[in-house]
A and B are shown apart, each in its own frame.
Chain A
């Protein structure tokens, strides 16, 4: 798309000149492609090892190993330990939601829930009467495995734009679960091999299935075990689940009529050869796009996203009443354009290391 087409299509009915004191870019800068809070000498979700890091949540494209000091919610710190992102050399500070903390340099940090996965948080930075919210990954749809998203009024709202196109309007997960159960009724002897990310997606799908009345045991790939146990230690109940590795490889028929959960890469790989009549399935926000689902060789796509969809992105930016929105990655152009049409000044940053689909 070229610039001319865009500018003729752009209407800015309410566009206004922004004056903010101090200039937020002076104290929340982009350094080496990541956010850096200057007075507190601290990075947000850095991709490379740093001395001081605020971590919004435990996904691998936000939490990394090798930092000197880490600030995060208690759940996120536990997740990072489970994934070996925090070693003995790391000093971790656990902050509950709304617990205010002096980060140094006159900066106060607190966390608000982001509704993305267990322990996910928006990092709220306050400095000289100004408030910047780094939302990390967030969603507004209901999720029985984590706290709901909380709107924090702010001066600058930093958002991602993974699903920022009008074609992304996530259906309620309950409807998608119905679809899965319908397939299991039509093909009762098949084995559903459901690809899910180990952190968050796996547990959300299990819990939603339980709430829909699915009461058979789940079978599970080894890679999903530790994080599921961690969720259970926070009081989540997923009913009975069993490890595939506990059964004889030749016992192919055991899984018929059941759901087997595994990481997405294993769905069509050698690992799945041990099941009778497998139906490759996946739970992901990308499943909305047919060609994508086919490309991933998925026969049953559940549209299940842990990110905000198009309408929720715009609604959230509006509700925070932010004077300025910074957009980190994803379909930046579309969101920037739509926000400006609403009279909300927006700026695309195209941060590096945040490639599409790398995101969990």
Chain B
């Protein structure tokens, strides 16, 4: 199918806000598009293309040859982005080679790939020019974004997988399980979705396995049913939940959502010389003042997150460490249908054989009644932010993808509360697009001797429809200035903001960032000048 259809698809997805509509549009395309085009489109949108078709620099140099530099600069400055500027302003070649038809998406990809493998740089250049000469601006945009893998059309990997799951009539967990075991152009996947073949067999492929998640405990209803015979308690560590997987000498570290983050933690990945899938919490182990290594806080870990290639120094100072919660499979045998207790036994044996610098076992806590659990939760609250609270798991729970009811509970320590002032509001998306439902709030602080509000965070609406309407009305009546989609309001309304922890952050104006901020109450009664001040937040950092 022509590249034009791919470009239409990207445009439709880019400008559509609701995830449901995005899914409908994408599914429609995948149904009417043959292999291998649909598979390449899936790779482009799902972010699994593994190579650039051409380099950004080539695009830039083509423009410099063809367009007056001053006008290019003005244009680029106005548009704010290079690919789009080129897509819109591309000056045709004096004698362009006219194509009778635009090639198919797969032809474009294969042609660039072939020329790249032949190290034919002039060929890549000529082919790019020929395509750009024959394309409309949206098609050029699609090509430039595809070619340099800069495609951001606001469709999450999760939405992509949901689309596929719905087409196949299976739970999204099934797609999650398959996803990392397959590669573009996904012909086996589509054959199965079409009903023309069995589900692809990925048992010999190293891949992400969907994880099991917990529900927040309902203190009123759930606490009474807990006994040490039926439930086991562990710390809920404040790191990042990961899955470490090994097979045939290969290693992968996946985030909770299935992103491959191995490159950020090569030190941990290098220890994997086994075939198994381990579920755990990733943290770092910096040395304390007396030179002993201890589990570090989320703040310590933060420096290693998102690093493409961490330096040797950073890895020495903040080595990665896994606190193991669970074992999903070992040597080709899946334990998903075994009970937690059975898996625990296997996990203990597995971890006992590992290097303790990199692996430890999540401790099973001693308790006999709910009061003990309360005390443990207090202990977590006093852990200087190391432990977020407790995990309480049914001892007979099997390992299910997603969030099964009444299997695992999380009991977080009490959130911190601060009274902050509403500063800016923005309209929501989808159903809520006509309401102001996205809020930025701040605390009082001092800058250059002046008392002013410094923004500390942003949260979406979390109230009833009635409260939302009330708040929407208040905002409409208290508009100050507008910055694009952002509406500044009178600094008069106080929110009680709850959050799990606070961290220093040079990226934020106030110097602080909150984890999981949510608005717990609207304080219609409280005057803005009585809201909290920055030092109150300062005192909570790392707590």
Q: Residues on A close to B: CB < 8 A? A: 1, 5-6, 9-10, 165-169, 171, 175, 179, 182-183, 186-187, 190, 268-270, 272-273, 280, 288-291, 293-295, 297-301, 331, 333-334, 337-338, 341
Instruction: State A286–B171 Cα separation when bound (angstroms).
Output: 42
Binary CB contact string for chain B from 87 to 116 against chain A (1 if under 8 A, 0 otherwise): 011010000000000000000000000000
Distance in angstroms from A131 CB to nearest chain B CB is 30
Which of B12, B71, B73 has the largest count of A CB atoms less than 10 A from its CB? B71
From B14-22, B190-198, B509-517, the one touching the partner chain is: B14-22
From B77-85, B124-132, B223-231, B448-456, the one touching the partner chain is: B77-85
Which of A1, A175, A289 has the largest count of B CB atoms less than 10 A from its CB? A289
Are B433 and A290 in contact, CB atoms less than 8 angstroms apart? no
Are B485 and A166 in contact, CB atoms less than 8 angstroms apart? no
Are A297 and B74 in contact, CB atoms less than 8 angstroms apart? no
Are B73 and A331 in contact, CB atoms less than 8 angstroms apart? no
Are A297 and B81 in contact, CB atoms less than 8 angstroms apart? no
Distance in angstroms from B83 CB to nearest chain A CB is 10
Residue of B nearest to A337 (CB): B70
B169 contacts the other chain (CB 8 A):
no
Q: Inside 8 A of B25's CB, which chain A residues have their CB? A: 186-187
Are B15 and A299 in contact, CB atoms less than 8 angstroms apart? yes
Are B485 and A295 in contact, CB atoms less than 8 angstroms apart? yes
Are B89 and A167 in contact, CB atoms less than 8 angstroms apart? yes
Are B427 and A187 in contact, CB atoms less than 8 angstroms apart? no
Residue of B nearest to A300 (CB): B15
Q: Inside 8 A of A5's CB, which chain B residues have their CB? A: 70, 73
Instruction: State A241–B202 Cα separation when bound (angstroms).
Output: 58
> What 8 A-B pairs are tightest by C-beta distance, nearest first?
A9-B70, A167-B88, A166-B89, A167-B89, A167-B75, A299-B15, A295-B484, A165-B75
Are B74 and A171 in contact, CB atoms less than 8 angstroms apart? no
Are A290 and B17 in contact, CB atoms less than 8 angstroms apart? no
Instruction: State A169–B24 Cα separation when bound (angstroms).
Output: 31
Residue of B nearest to A334 (CB): B74
- Given A166-B89, A187-B21, A280-B433, A290 contacting B14 (CB threshold 8 A): yes
21 contacts between A and B (CB under 8 A): A1-B74, A5-B73, A165-B71, A165-B75, A166-B71, A166-B88, A166-B91, A171-B136, A171-B137, A186-B28, A187-B21, A190-B21, A272-B434, A273-B434, A280-B433, A289-B84, A289-B88, A291-B80, A297-B17, A331-B78, A334-B71
Q: Inside 8 A of B141's CB, which chain A residues have their CB? A: 290
Residue of A nearest to B74 (CB): A334
* New contact pairs (16) apart from A167-B78, A338-B71, CB-CB < 8 Å: A5-B73, A166-B67, A166-B88, A166-B89, A167-B84, A167-B85, A171-B137, A186-B24, A268-B427, A269-B434, A289-B78, A295-B484, A300-B15, A331-B78, A333-B74, A338-B68
B8 contacts the other chain (CB 8 A):
yes
Distance in angstroms from B26 CB to nearest chain A CB is 11
Distance in angstroms from B145 CB to nearest chain A CB is 11
Are B89 and A298 in contact, CB atoms less than 8 angstroms apart? no
Distance in angstroms from B12 CB to nearest chain A CB is 7
Q: Inside 8 A of B527's CB, which chain A residues have their CB? A: none
Instruction: State A5–B70 Cα separation when bound (angstroms).
Output: 8
Instruction: State A294–B24 Cα separation when bound (angstroms).
Output: 20
Q: Inside 8 A of A294's CB, which chain B residues have their CB? A: 15
B404 contacts the other chain (CB 8 A):
no
- Given A5-B70, A272-B434, A289-B84, A169 contacting B137 (CB threshold 8 A): yes
Q: Inside 8 A of B427's CB, which chain A residues have their CB? A: 268, 297
Q: Inside 8 A of B72's CB, which chain A residues have their CB? A: 166
Which of A9, A182, A331 has the largest count of B CB atoms less than 10 A from its CB? A9
B356 contacts the other chain (CB 8 A):
no
Residue of A nearest to B20 (CB): A277
B69 contacts the other chain (CB 8 A):
yes
- Given A268-B433, A333-B74, A288 contacting B88 (CB threshold 8 A): yes
Distance in angstroms from A77 CB to nearest chain B CB is 35
Partner of B70, one of A6, A167, A293: A6
Instruction: State A280–B16 Cα separation when bound (angstroms).
Output: 9
Partner of A187, one of B24, B80, B91, B136: B24
Q: Inside 8 A of B17's CB, which chain A residues have their CB? A: 297, 299
Partner of A9, one of B68, B85, B136: B68
Are A293 and B78 in contact, CB atoms less than 8 angstroms apart? no
- Given A182-B8, A299-B15, A169 contacting B71 (CB threshold 8 A): no
Instruction: State A166–B63 Cα separation when bound (angstroms).
Output: 12
Partner of A337, one of B71, B91, B137, B485: B71
Which positions 127-151 of chain B face chain A at CB distance < 8 Å?
Answer: 136-137, 141
Are A289 and B79 in contact, CB atoms less than 8 angstroms apart? yes
Q: Inside 8 A of B73's CB, which chain A residues have their CB? A: 1, 5
Distance in angstroms from A74 CB to nearest chain B CB is 38
Instruction: State A270–B427 Cα separation when bound (angstroms).
Output: 12
Q: Inside 8 A of A187's CB, which chain B residues have their CB? A: 21, 24-25
Instruction: State A183–B25 Cα separation when bound (angstroms).
Output: 9
Instruction: State A183–B72 Cα separation when bound (angstroms).
Output: 33
Are B434 and A10 in contact, CB atoms less than 8 angstroms apart? no
Instruction: State A342–B8 Cα separation when bound (angstroms).
Output: 37
Q: Inside 8 A of B11's CB, which chain A residues have their CB? A: 179
Distance in angstroms from B107 CB to nearest chain A CB is 23
Instruction: State A250–B12 Cα separation when bound (angstroms).
Output: 29
Q: Inside 8 A of B15's CB, which chain A residues have their CB? A: 293-294, 298-301
Residue of A nearest to B67 (CB): A166
Q: Inside 8 A of B14's CB, which chain A residues have their CB? A: 290
Instruction: State A280–B17 Cα separation when bound (angstroms).
Output: 10
Q: Inside 8 A of B81's CB, which chain A residues have their CB? A: 291
Q: Inside 8 A of A269's CB, which chain B residues have their CB? A: 434
- Given A301-B15, A333-B74, A268 contacting B79 (CB threshold 8 A): no
Q: Inside 8 A of B434's CB, which chain A residues have their CB? A: 268-270, 272-273
Which positions 518-542 of chain B face chain A at CB distance < 8 Å?
Answer: none
Distance in angstroms from A89 CB to nearest chain B CB is 36
Residue of B nearest to A169 (CB): B88
Instruction: State A217–B360 Cα separation when bound (angstroms).
Output: 70
- Given A187-B24, A295-B484, A338-B71, A165 contacting B78 (CB threshold 8 A): yes
Are A169 and B74 in contact, CB atoms less than 8 angstroms apart? no
Q: Inside 8 A of A331's CB, which chain B residues have their CB? A: 74, 78
Q: Inside 8 A of B68's CB, which chain A residues have their CB? A: 9, 338, 341
Are A299 and B28 in contact, CB atoms less than 8 angstroms apart? no
Distance in angstroms from B428 CB to nearest chain A CB is 10
Residue of A nearest to B472 (CB): A270
Which positions 399-438 of chain B face chain A at CB distance < 8 Å?
Answer: 427, 433-434
Q: Inside 8 A of A291's CB, which chain B residues have their CB? A: 79-81, 84
Instruction: State A49–B171 Cα separation when bound (angstroms).
Output: 68
Instruction: State A165–B85 Cα separation when bound (angstroms).
Output: 10
Instruction: State A182–B84 Cα separation when bound (angstroms).
Output: 23
Distance in angstroms from A142 CB to nearest chain B CB is 18
Instruction: State A280–B428 Cα separation when bound (angstroms).
Output: 13
Residue of A nearest to B73 (CB): A1
Binary CB contact string for chain B from 44 to 77 against chain A (1 if under 8 A, 0 otherwise): 0000000000000000000000011111111101
Q: Inside 8 A of A270's CB, which chain B residues have their CB? A: 434
Q: Inside 8 A of A295's CB, which chain B residues have their CB? A: 484-485
